[in-house]
């Protein structure tokens, strides 16, 4: 029985100690005699602050605000070249200040010149297929090309042959007429593609 009472007392002891400490701190005159005239804890009264009063007036205020501060710019940006190639020279290192219009690096022109030469040769090949030696201007007429003229003549010939076979009528075989119709259609497609 004594043990159970002791355990109950121990469970309430921290709360009792806290209560006692609070009473001693906030009401020390209950346990100790204190002289209030010598106490250093007496607060001095605050001096009065003058307050001015005025009428309420409606007016617009400026939206400018003067402040002092500092800006932090972007520390990292991605730099991507417009063309591919091997870098032959680097003008700036990491952390250098770069101004607009300044080159960052120099790309080797060899690969780019090879690509341009290859494109020129491909253009010359296609122009040779068309029978041209120079690039056409805006006055160029497509029907003057040899391939287009040839396709037009073949198409005209096939249409004429088909007309002759239709005029003959039953004297020509069905096979000849079908072949002439097919040749006419093929020649029209060739003319459109030329």
User: What is the rounded CA–CA span in Å between residue 162 and residue 142?
Assistant: 27
Looking up tokens 């005239």 gives 37
CA 73 vs. chain centroid, Å, equals 19
Confidence of residue 36 (pLDDT cuts 50, 70, 90): low
Same domain, 124 and 162: no
Give φ, ψ of 84 to 5 degrees.
Answer: -90, 160
**What 8-state DSSP symbol labels residue 102?**
-
- Whether the Cβ atoms of residue 161 and residue 180 lie closer than 8 Å to each other: yes
Closest CA to 145 of 122, 169, 128: 128
Same domain, 123 and 150: no
Total number of domains constituting the chain = 3
Any domain includes 72:
no
Same domain, 150 and 121: no
User: What is the rounded CA–CA span in Å between residue 94 and residue 104?
Assistant: 11
pLDDT of residue 188: 77
User: What is the rounded CA–CA span in Å between residue 1 and residue 9?
Assistant: 12
Any domain includes 177:
yes
Any domain includes 71:
no
Same domain, 164 and 123: no
Any domain includes 47:
no
Same domain, 188 and 146: yes
* Structural domain boundaries, residue 162: 142-193
Q: Which among 77, 109, 130 is the end of a domain?
A: 130
Same domain, 124 and 151: no
Higher per-residue confidence, 22 vs 32: 22
Residue 94 has pLDDT above 60, yes or no: yes
The mean per-residue pLDDT over the stretch 49-73 comes to 84
């Amino acid at each position: 029985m004594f043990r159970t009472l002791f355990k109950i007392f121990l469970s309430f002891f921290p709360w009792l100690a806290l209560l006692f400490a609070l009473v001693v701190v906030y009401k020390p005159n209950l346990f100790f005699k204190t002289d209030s005239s010598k106490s250093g804890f007496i607060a001095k009264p605050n001096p009065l602050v003058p307050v001015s009063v005025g009428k309420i007036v409606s007016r617009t205020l400026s939206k400018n605000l003067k402040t002092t501060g500092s800006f932090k710019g972007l520390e990292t940006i991605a730099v991507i070249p417009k063309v591919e190639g091997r870098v032959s020279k680097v003008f700036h290192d990491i952390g250098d200040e770069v101004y607009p219009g300044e080159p960052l690096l120099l790309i080797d022109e060899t690969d780019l010149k090879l690509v341009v030469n290859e494109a020129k040769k491909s253009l010359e090949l296609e122009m040779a297929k068309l029978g041209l030696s120079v690039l056409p201007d805006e006055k160029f007429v497509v029907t003057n090309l040899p391939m287009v003229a040839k396709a037009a003549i073949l198409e005209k010939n096939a249409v004429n042959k088909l007309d002759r076979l239709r005029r003959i009528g039953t004297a020509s075989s069905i096979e000849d007429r079908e072949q002439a119709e097919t040749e006419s259609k093929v020649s029209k497609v060739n003319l459109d593609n030329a």
